[in-house]
């Protein structure tokens, strides 16, 4: 049994933390100000190429944490969530970030729907946990 199997909440917290960090850095000028403040403003044009994949892979970590927290109901989301995160990253970069906000909101809603699904399908005895 791995460390994350013993404590899925830790995996969930790290995934949510990474998701929030990446979202704040993607959709606000916070990271641009920080990077420019330390004299690396030449990198600001390339930040989204790292931040959007980080955001989607953190959402995949959240899906895995939710699955572990729910008692491993159904197949593991590790493979399909990682493939979807990679595909969304490639699509956003390919379409040059035109629909980035819509795709990101859709990905967040999909993970939220997955959490709702996992909570609704728990056996009756697990609801008290």
Tell whether 128 is covered by a domain. Answer: no
Tell whether 35 is covered by a domain. Answer: yes
Question: What is the rounded CA–CA span in Å between residue 101 and residue 66?
Answer: 24
Q: Structurally, how many domains does the chain consist of?
A: 1
Intra-chain end-to-end CA distance of the chain, in Å: 20
pTM of the full structure: 0.82
Question: What is the rounded CA–CA span in Å between residue 61 and residue 40?
Answer: 30
pLDDT (tens digit per residue) in 24-60: 988 888 888 888 888 888 888 888 899 999 999 999 9
Name the phi and psi angles at 70, rounded to 5.
Answer: -80, 0
Tell whether 97 is covered by a domain. Answer: yes
Tell whether 86 is covered by a domain. Answer: yes
Which structural domain, as residue segments, surrounds residue 104? 3-121
Higher confidence at residue 61 or residue 121? Answer: 61
């Amino acid at each position: 049994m791995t460390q994350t199997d013993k404590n899925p909440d830790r995996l969930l917290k790290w995934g949510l933390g990474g998701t929030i960090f990446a979202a704040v850095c993607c959709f606000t000028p916070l990271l641009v100000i920080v990077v420019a403040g330390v004299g690396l403003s030449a990198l600001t044009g390339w930040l989204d190429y790292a931040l959007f994949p980080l955001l989607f892979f953190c959402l995949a970590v959240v899906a895995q944490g939710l699955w572990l927290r729910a008692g491993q109901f159904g197949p593991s989301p590790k493979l399909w969530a990682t493939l979807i995160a990679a595909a969304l990253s490639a699509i956003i970069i390919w379409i040059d970030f035109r629909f980035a906000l819509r795709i990101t909101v859709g990905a967040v809603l999909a993970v939220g729907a997955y959490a709702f699904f996992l909570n609704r399908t728990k056996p009756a005895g697990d609801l008290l946990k």
